[in-house]
Chains A and B, each alone.
Chain A
């Protein structure tokens, strides 16, 4: 088959092309309707599944959101419930500690008040004046002095007696007031005691009030969670993200600690399991053994904190009876201490191996280095041993951020999953629409390709249409007429 085989006039390319175009146009014009239907069907067939998938994904996203919301609210409810429980326990402790002494305090206060009242009454007891005192004075005052020597003498005697009596009465009054002052002075310690006791009562009541306010706040949150409000959901989601970030940060720090720990024990482990075996091309068995020890330590820490009821990752441990739980706690603690001891010994061995290697290299070298003697040279050894002992305990605490990470990862992962599913739904929807429009464009392009026959069709159909319209108009006019 040659290049020119398709040409109807092999000598004239233009005429051949034109003729072929006309033939093609004729065929395309004839097949216009089925082709349009084919394009439409194609557009529908391609876009419909995509739209269906998009709708399904959107529904799945909604489902996931509802499920996440339910889990988040349930978890939040449980957490806030536990916090309220703790607050009530704290409140109970405060009430037991501070208010259990209230009957005694009240009795004491009542006694003190009674005593003060009695003393007050005593203060109010003034010695009664002599009943005829004023009248006697009045009678004496009415005696007129005539200059009689006897009268003067009597009056002088009376004056002297009155002066004596006055002095005596004054002394008595002074004594009485002195006694009352002494009683009043005796009030002071009682007042102070009452004041102190009342201040203590005020302080206790204020602490109680503060605790009650915290409980109120938690109760408010609990109510919101129970009601399933958007505000509560948003607050819980934000809280989960914060927890996740913090836990991740702490876990990263812990990973750094684990790496240091690994460095400390990897070399000495080769003394135990040999340095020639490999798990992968770059991972020695001794390094794996060191990693295993670190993971065992972390697991022991996890069990220890679980048994201490600090974390709640294993319901089976939480459900153990008190005796078994205590036993488990001690077993985990003893194992952790043993492993820490082993690590300290390994750290010492590492130092010894490094020193041995250094000594060998120095003996092989042409220039000998001066050895570091004395306590300065022992500081790294001691430091390594100390680190080897402490790091397992420090690693034990990763159980707390691990628990936070696991719990918050559910929410964070859920949010990302929803975003992913929604994004996928959007992409599918856009793709479906694009395909539908592409098929419409294809129909238009098809019509453009056969524009000449279409124009011819229009030209043929227009006079016929006009004639039909004219005939209709005439018919209408006739009818009207």
Chain B
């Protein structure tokens, strides 16, 4: 809060006793999906970097959940860790430490799954975020965005991601993408269209891990 805001807040202070409080939730809910399928499981160390960034950036009162994307991801069992940080900063810091330990332990031995159910993970994330009271909701997909489903899994139906930001992070290029870059572009465009059709408030791709601040920055 800078000096100008400090001076501008004085009238707000005068209004505060008359119950002019801001009823909107200013908390931030973040659900991170980490792709652990196939060769992408080798990128787990980068996922830890992002989790660390989120833990360092999220404020008391915010929520964070980290889940795996496996063959079928529409399950609470895939959620590695979730926490709504206490509004007291000291307690929130303690929770963040415990969260980090849990994530460290979970990513120590990551075994690659056969299929990648990103849609199932998205539905799970949307449910988790909608149940919470966060004002800003973000789903981070740490994946190459190549969805692979087995024959019995059904995901080709419309999903709802209303008022949720969806950010794809570290979308690496596959061998086939290198042969024909249109595949990569097409994949991203396809996801963008699907997410926007689902009612998401924002779609973004962050591949440069030196600019992680773009993950939580609202456009």
What is A's interface to B at a CB cutoff of 8 Å?
A: 255, 259, 262, 266-267, 270-271, 274-283, 285, 287-288, 291-292, 295, 352-353, 356-357, 360-361, 363-366
> By CB atoms of chain B within 10 A, which of A276, A277, A356, A357 has the most?
A276
| Residues A279 and B60 in contact, CB atoms below 8 Å apart | no
Question: With A279-B21, A288-B16, A361-B56 given, can you name 5 additional A-B contacts, CB distance below 8 Å?
Answer: A270-B88, A278-B21, A283-B22, A353-B90, A364-B53
Whether A275 pairs with B61 at a CB distance below 8 angstroms is yes
From A279, A356, A365, A366, contact of B93 by CB (8 A): A356
A440 to chain B, nearest CB (A): 51
Nearest CB on A from B23, distance (A) = 9
Partner of B13, one of A255, A267, A281, A292: A292
- Among B26, B60, B87, B97, contact of A363 (Cβ-Cβ < 8 Å): B97
Q: How far is the CA of A262 from the CA of B5 in the complex (A)?
A: 12
Min Cβ gap B2→A in Å is 9
CB distance from A318 to the nearest CB of B (A): 27
Tell me which of A275, A280, A292 contacts B89 (CB under 8 A).
A275
Q: Are A271 and B90 in contact (CB under 8 A)?
A: yes
Q: Which of A285, A287, A291, A360 has the most CB of B within 10 A?
A: A360
Q: List chain B residues, Cβ under 8 A from A291.
A: 9-10, 13
**Given A275-B59, A357-B93, A364-B52, are A282 and B88 neighbors across the interface (CB < 8 Å)?**
no
Q: Are B1 and A266 in contact, with the CB atoms below 8 A?
A: yes
Whether A360 touches B5, Cβ cut-off 8 Å, given contacts A278-B21, A279-B12, A291-B13, is: no
Do the beta carbons of B26 and A278 come within 8 Å of each other?
yes
Chain B residues, Cβ within 8 Å of A364: 52-53, 55-56, 96, 100
Task: Determine the distance from Cα of A277 to Cα of B93 in the docked complex, in whole angstroms.
Answer: 18
Contact with A along B47-89 (1 / 0, CB 8 A): 0010011011001110000000000000000000000000111
Chain A residues, CB < 8 A from B27: 276
Q: With A270-B88, A278-B21 in contact, is A259–B6 under 8 Å at CB?
A: yes
Most buried by A among B1, B49, B55: B1
29 contacts between A and B (CB under 8 A): A266-B1, A275-B89, A276-B61, A276-B87, A278-B21, A278-B26, A279-B13, A279-B21, A279-B22, A280-B12, A280-B22, A281-B24, A282-B9, A283-B5, A288-B9, A288-B12, A288-B13, A291-B10, A292-B13, A353-B89, A353-B90, A356-B93, A357-B89, A357-B93, A360-B56, A361-B56, A364-B52, A364-B56, A364-B100
Contact in complex: B89, A270 (CB < 8 Å): yes
> Given the complex, which residues of A lie within 8 Å of B13, measured CB to CB?
279, 283, 288, 291-292, 295
Asked if A287 meets B56 with Cβ closer than 8 Å, knowing A259-B3, A356-B93, A357-B89, the reply is no
Q: Does B217 contact A (CB under 8 A)?
A: no
A277–B26 Cα gap in the complex (Å)? Answer: 8
- Cα separation A366 to B209 with both chains bound (whole Å): 14
B87 touches A275 (CB 8 A): yes
B179 at the interface (CB under 8 A from A): no
What's the nearest-Cβ distance from chain B to residue A55, in Å? 38
B87 engages A279 (CB within 8 Å) = no
Q: Does B7 contact A (CB under 8 A)?
A: yes
Indicate whether B152 reaches chain A with its CB closer than 8 angstroms: no
Tell me, in angstroms, the Cα distance from A186 to B67 when the chains sit together: 112
Complex contact B9–A271 (CB within 8 A): no
Q: Are B88 and A271 in contact (CB under 8 A)?
A: yes
Complex-state Cα separation, A186 to B5, whole angstroms: 83
Partner of B9, one of A283, A360, A361: A283
Q: Which residues does chain B contribute within 8 Å of A278, judged by CB atoms?
A: 21-22, 24, 26
Judge whether A255 and B7 touch: CB under 8 Å. yes
- Chain B residues near A295 (CB, 8 Å)? 13
For the complex, give the distance between the alpha carbons of A363 and B103 in Å. Answer: 14
List B contacts of A357 (CB < 8 A).
89, 93
- Confirm or deny: B20 has a beta carbon within 8 angstroms of a beta carbon on chain A: yes
B residues less than 8 Å from A282 (CB atoms): 1, 5, 9
A206 to B15 CA separation, bound complex (whole angstroms): 60
Residue of A nearest to B1 (CB): A287
**Complex Cα gap A477–B47 (Å):** 126
State whether A274 touches B88 (Cβ < 8 A): yes
Contact with A along B1-39 (1 / 0, CB 8 A): 101011101101101100011101011000000000000
One of A276, A288, A352, A366 near B26 (C-beta < 8 A):
A276
**Nearest CB in chain B to that of A263: its residue:** B1
Q: How far is the CA of A425 from the CA of B66 in the complex (A)?
A: 71
By the criterion CB–CB under 8 Å, are B100 and A274 in contact?
A: no
**Contact between A287 and B89, CB atoms less than 8 A apart:** no
Q: Name the B residues within 8 Å of A277 (CB-CB).
A: 21, 87
Knowing A283-B12, A357-B89 touch, does A275 contact B52 (C-beta < 8 A)? no
Question: Per-residue 0/1 for B140-175: is the Cβ within 8 Å of any A Cβ (1 yes, 0 no)?
Answer: 000000000000000000000000000000000000
On whether the beta carbons of B10 and A270 are closer than 8 Å, the reply is no
Task: List the B side residues contacting A267 at CB < 8 Å.
Answer: 89
Q: Could you say which of B3, B13, B20, B52 has the most chain A C-beta atoms within 10 Å of its C-beta?
A: B13
Kindly state the separation between the CA atoms of A287 and B13 in the bound complex, as whole angstroms. Answer: 9
List of A residues within 8 angstroms of B88 by Cβ: 270-271, 274-275
Kindly list chain B residues whose C-beta atoms are within 8 Å of the C-beta of A365.
52
Q: Which listed residue, B20, B22, B53, touches A281 by the CB 8 Å rule?
A: B22
A281 to B10, CA, bound (A): 14
Which A residues lie within 8 Å of B93 (CB)?
A: 356-357, 360
**Could you tell me the distance between the alpha carbons of A275 and B16 in the complex, rounded to whole angstroms?**
16
Which of chain B's residues has its CB closest to A365's CB? B52
Q: Using Cβ atoms and an 8 Å threshold, which residues of chain A touch B24?
A: 278, 281
Minimum-distance CB pairs A-B, first 8: A276-B61, A274-B87, A364-B52, A275-B60, A276-B87, A278-B22, A283-B9, A360-B93
**Cβ–Cβ < 8 Å partners of A259 in chain B:** 3, 6
A352 to chain B, nearest CB (A): 8
- Give A31 to B101 CA distance when docked, in angstroms: 98
Shortest Cβ distance from A255 into B: residue: B7
* Residue of chain A at shortest CB distance from B61: A276
